[in-house]
Amino acid sequence: MKSYITRTIATTVIMIAASVIYVNAQSAHRVTADIPFDFFIGKEMMPAGTYEFEVANRHAYPGALIVRSTIPGANHSFIVPALLDKATKGAEPSIMFNRYGAAYFFANINADSGSMAFKVWKSDTEKRLAREAREVVPVKIQPTETARR
């Protein structure tokens, strides 16, 4: 009986450890990219620079995206409501912006073969510019680094 209890406890511990490792392997990624232009996320204007994009809550995977500047001393960081986007299998990791004239708006991110694919809502300003613009120019930025967390 004692041997049975010991085996049951050991098996349970191994199963829990294996599930934690599996969940960790499936967790979201952090993507870093050099953005060479000022851009908007919603109503917020973000200056050109290096930014990290990361899922805000890995346990509630779809939901929010953290966007933060990596410039020392810069206080450009906030949480963006985001939706899961249709992942493009095998596509290169990319961060997409919509350009209307000289204004750039963050649109979506697709990283690590779609395991981190999000799009953001268009702000009222972006919707207005989209109606007024002659054309919308999609701008693709390649991440400089993709890391598991």
Q: How many domains does the chain have?
A: 1
Domain interval for residue 118: 28-148
pTM (two decimals): 0.72
Residue 21 within any structural domain of the chain: no
What angle (nearest 5°) sits at the alpha carbon of residue 34, between those of residues 31 and 36?
A: 145
Residue 19 within any structural domain of the chain: no
What is the phi/psi pair of residue 128, to 5°? -65, -45
Residue 5 within any structural domain of the chain: no
Q: What amino acid occupies position 122?
A: K
pLDDT band, residue 92 (cuts 50/70/90):
confident
Residue 23 within any structural domain of the chain: no
Integer Cα distance of 6 and 67 in angstroms:
47
Q: Residue 19: is its pLDDT beyond 50?
A: no
